[in-house]
A = this chain, B = another copy of it.
């Protein structure tokens, strides 16, 4: 591997000059720049990451933290990974993805100073990573809202709007008895979504009714139980709002019960997971504009690095309804 000294020698300049040219600092004769660049090209020189990071006390690298949990197997996460990887690269930073199975492994990695800042995914209501990063003084952006978000940069979906999108779609189709099947409420986003749904219900003058809300524990069996709870209340539910993953189970369970989707019951998901289109029937859902979220998050982190003292920013990204085959007109009341 060639070093900066090799380049300097080849180009007939000092290593300072090479360094400055490579980092666009100072002014140089175009001819000098050309000589240096040519040498870089010819020797296939790449600055050594460790040396550069050590000297500059900056790694120019941003990391995305993902958690390894049973519920993290939504392929939507892969879309996030990809979109964030691209967004970060476009901002001129190196990107890396860290997957941790526990806080300790995250802490170990975070305290090695391998990256300048963090993007946090799968954020919990009381996320320990946030506390840790704050304590260490490492810049970060939370993708998703923790309970205490005043002091943190947050990028998230505008769930108030997604609730409205889902509800208005169903209302327009004539549905009035609309159930909500929530993912575990310990996940911040789930609680926020439920709240938004309830607020929106009220806004439209529909009764807020505990019979119409159920919570799954995240497992398939839990989803079936939640669905049974909903149905056991004996009121004629014609539509159900849930998340994409439980929706798959809902779809299958309803079919087992002899109910047709969307003829008897409409089902709407909440995040346009790649699975949604593969479902049977294809799931009507809400697309989260993953790319925009990624872009906003990468941008927010880059800004935070530039201006450490700027006030925290909260960015909510709008979503859009994707109508597929799982929603239809409400059955006419018999």
Give me the interface of A with B, judged by CB distance under 8 Å. Answer: 1, 44, 46-54, 59, 68, 72-75, 77-79, 81-82, 85-86, 89, 94-101, 105, 108-109, 111-114, 220, 245, 248-249, 251-252, 255, 274-275, 277-278, 280
How many angstroms from the CA of A147 to the CA of B44 in the assembled complex? Answer: 28
Q: Is the CB of B101 within 8 A of A85?
A: yes
Interface secondary structure of A, over-half rule: helix
Shortest CB distance A24–B (Å): 17
- How long is the Cα–Cα vector from A73 to B82 in the complex, in angstroms? 10
Complex Cα gap A278–B52 (Å): 48
Measured in the bound complex, the distance between the Cα atoms of B207 and A311 in whole Å is 71
Query: Shortest distance in angstroms between A64's beta carbon and chain B's nearest beta carbon?
Result: 9
- Contact status A274-B98, CB under 8 Å: no
Q: Which residues of B contact A49 (CB under 8 A)?
A: 50, 53, 112-114
A89 touches B105 (CB 8 A): yes
Residue pair A277, B220 in contact (C-beta under 8 Å): yes
- Which B residues are in CB contact (< 8 Å) with A108? 46
Which residues does chain B contribute within 8 Å of A44, judged by CB atoms? 111
Complex partner residue of A101 from B82, B101, B252, CB under 8 angstroms: B82
Contact A113 B78 (CB under 8 A): no
Contacts of A78 in B (CB 8 A): 72-73, 75, 77-78
In the complex, the answer to whether B278 meets A280 with C-beta atoms within 8 Å is: no
Copies of this chain per assembly: 2
Closest 8 CB pairs of A and B: A50-B53, A49-B112, A50-B54, A97-B97, A46-B111, A68-B82, A252-B280, A85-B99
Given A96-B98, A98-B96, A109-B94, residue A278 in contact with residue B54 (CB < 8 A): no
What is the CB-to-nearest-CB distance from A259 to chain B, in angstroms, rounded to a whole number? 13
* Contacts A78-B77, A78-B78 given; does A59 touch B68 at CB 8 Å: no
Q: Which residue of B lies closest to A94 (CB)?
A: B109
A186 vs chain B, min Cβ distance (A): 20
Q: Which of A46, A49, A113 has the most CB of B within 10 A?
A: A49
B-side contacts of A74, CB under 8 Å: 75
CB neighbours of A48 from chain B (8 A): 54, 112-113
26 contacts between A and B (CB under 8 A): A44-B111, A48-B113, A49-B50, A49-B112, A49-B114, A50-B51, A50-B54, A50-B113, A50-B114, A51-B54, A68-B81, A73-B79, A73-B274, A75-B75, A89-B105, A94-B109, A95-B98, A97-B99, A114-B114, A245-B278, A249-B278, A251-B280, A252-B278, A252-B280, A275-B278, A280-B280
